[in-house]
Structures are given as structure tokens and as C-alpha cells.
Amino acid sequence: MAAQDEQGAGPEAEATVSPGARGRGTGRVGIKDVAAAVGVSWKTVSNVVNGTGRVGDETRAKVEAMIAELGYRPNLAGRQLRRGRTNTLALAVPWAHSPYFSLLAHIVIEAAGARGYRVLIEETRTDRDAELQVARGFSVQAIDGIIFSPLAIGPSEIAEVRGATPLVLLGERDDPGHDRRWSTDHVSIDNVRAAREVTEHLLTTGRRRLAFVGAEPVEDRTGALRLQGYREAHAAQGVEADPRWILPVTHFSRPAGVAAMEQVLPRIDQVDGLVCANDELALGALHALRVNGVRVPEDVAVTGWDNTEDGRYSNPSLTTVAPDLQAIAETAVDRVIAQVERRADDEPERDVDVVVAHRLLVRESSREA
């Protein structure tokens, strides 16, 4: 085996020729090519590249000049793999085009970059097999850790199939007393509490006939938790939540919001407020109501969730629950890096549930009637 220096770059380390050097080279330039061109040992070149050892100023200048001329670039990926870490995280989200997840990805990338990590984005499209592959750790060596927002599979199933790759979930735990043989950190907001707050806002502005748009059949999913808060707010105010106005959806999307409204337009005069499980549903509902002559908020108030940019600029502007995305991203990045750095330890750390703050932003779509 060829000897390696203390930074992991041996005499066979190679790199691609830079674009400016392609006319002078014939493919891959190795550390020995630079050494031969300068007339020094490969170890000397390695010391210059890695900033190690003792190299005279004149020799260093010659090596650096030849590196630039030949277009030599160290094979950082190979070096990192030999160290057992790539400083690369994966962020797996249902839909990359979703305003919420695209903004979350942007903040995660910034937070990871500030900590010396890069982020690769995976779009699962709520496909069960794709989400199972994420939970198992992608079966690749290039990922140090994963931040995962699942929709098709729940936390218990993830705990059963997950691999050894450090993992942080964005979302709710289904059962606080679940089997903890696999530690899985969670980062979320309190969906139940936030749903109570937005529902109470509508009830206290005089709306008494509210619909919930975004019901989901699975108890530990986001829509179901927000529906729970909607029901709790009604109970606290002594108002009955009409089950006929709990509206299921197939996706949390604008088209789904339009479809939900079109189904109930013949009886829309029976409600005076909509609690939508996210901004996209609310924006779809706003569109359907507007084109059918239903005034917002005079006839029906509308609220959303996520504080997306579209909601801030819609007409009317959209009342929404605003999760602290910065805190979600930074906490998730910190938790997964903590797992990466303790991966070699014998004693596992208990999983951590982190609940970050949220705010209710009242805008034109629900101003007092």
C-alpha cells in the first residue's frame, strides 16, 4: 500500500484538471505529476497542499505555481471518505416545489454551511418506497446524516426500518411511550396548540360556523393534529364543531384547496370561517371563493399555516400560523451533527423532542366582521 501523509493524501492522490488547464493536460493530474515537474518529493507537494510539515518559502512558491499551471486539485471526496466523514447531510422533503419546504431547504443549507456541512436535497413525493429508502439511510457512504420530513410513513415504522445513519425527523412523534430501541430526534412545532389559537381567533371575532380544510385519516399526521386543536378550541368556547364541515383533502396543495371549496359551494353560506391546514390549501380556497363571488373576509374568513410568501402578498393577505423556520432548521442541523459526532461512541444518547416556537399572524383574510 502506498504511504499516506497525516492528512490522508498519498502519492497516488489524483484530481481532475481545472478548466483552464485542459489545453495543457491530458486527463487527471496526480500529486506525483506536480512533484516531478518541480523536482521535489510527493511528500513535499502534500505538505504544501495540506499546510503541514516544513517547506521553504522558495520551494512552496514553486510548488504552488506548478499546481496552478497543471490545474491540480486534491481529491477531497476520497480524503474525506478515508477519514470516515464527508461533511455532507441529506434533507429529504415531500415536495421541493412547496413554498414551505423550499424555504426550509434554503435555511437548512445556510445553517449547515455555517457549521461546515453541505446539504443534498431528496424529494420523496410522498412515495412510500422512497421514504423507506430515506429511513434506511440511502445505503450510501456519502451521507453523514439525514434530516427527514416524512408523510407516507410514520415515526413507529421509521424506528423499525431505520439504518445506522444519523437521522432527525421533522414532525410529530406518534406515541411518547414508543419502543426507544432506536433513538430518533424530532423537531416540530406544537400543532395542536397552534390550531387552537387560530381557531380561537376566528371564534372570538364572531365566527361561529367554522370549517376545517385538511383532515387526514392518520392520527399522528399534521392534518389530524391540527384538526384536534380545532376541536379543542370549539370545546373550550362551548361551540359545537359540525362534523359535516371537516373536509378531507388528498394533498396539501392549491388544487386541493380549490377542489374542497368547489365541493361545498352549494352550501358555503352555512359557514363563516375556514381553518385551512396550510397556506397552499388556503390560497386555493381563496381563489375558488373569489371566482364564485364569495367575499373574504366579509362572507367567509380564511386562515392558513406556514407563513409563505404567497400568503403575505395575496389579496386579501392571508392570516397564518408562522412556525419559527430558522429555529426548526438550526435545531435539526445541530441535532443531526451531534449524532454524527457521537456515532463512534458506545453509549447511545436518548432521543430528543424539540418543540420550537410559532406565532399567529393576523392579516386581512380574517379581520373582524
Confidence at residue 154, expressed as pLDDT on a 0 to 100 scale: 83
**Range with the poorest average pLDDT among 58-62, 82-86, 125-129, 204-208:** 82-86
325-342 vs 99-114: helix crossing angle, rounded to 10: 50
* Cell reading at 3: 504511504
Positive or negative: CA dihedral 244, 272, 302, 240: negative
What integer pLDDT is reported at residue 249 of this predicted model? 94
Q: How far apart are CA 291 and CA 268, in angstroms?
A: 14
pLDDT digit string, tens, across residues 93-102: 999 999 999 9
What is the predicted pLDDT for the residue at 4? 35
pLDDT tens across 309-348, in order?
999 999 999 999 999 999 999 999 999 999 998 864 444 5
Residue 176 grid coordinates: 411518547
* d(C-alpha 143, C-alpha 122), whole Å: 12
**Contact status, residue 369 vs residue 207, Cβ threshold 8 Å:** yes
pLDDT value, residue 304: 98
What average pLDDT does this structure show over 227-254?
96
- Strands lying side by side in the sheet with 145-148: 118-123, 88-93, 145-148, 167-170, 185-189, 353-356
By the 8 A CB rule, do 71 and 21 touch? Answer: yes
* Residue-level pLDDT at 225: 92
**What 8-state DSSP symbol labels residue 20?**
G
Backbone torsion region of residue 294, taken as left when φ is above 0, otherwise alpha when ψ lies between -120 and 50, otherwise beta: beta
Say what the pLDDT of residue 297 is.
97
Rounded to two decimals, what is the model's pTM?
A: 0.77
Q: Please, are residues 15 and 76 in contact by the beta-carbon 8 Å criterion?
A: no
Average pLDDT over residues 183-210: 95
Whether 268 shows a pLDDT value over 50: the answer reads: yes
Write the CA distances from 366 to 12, 279, 297, 318, integer angstroms.
67, 14, 6, 8
Domains of the chain, first to last: 14-81 (1.10.260.40), 87-188+325-356 (3.40.50.2300), 191-323+360-366 (3.40.50.2300)
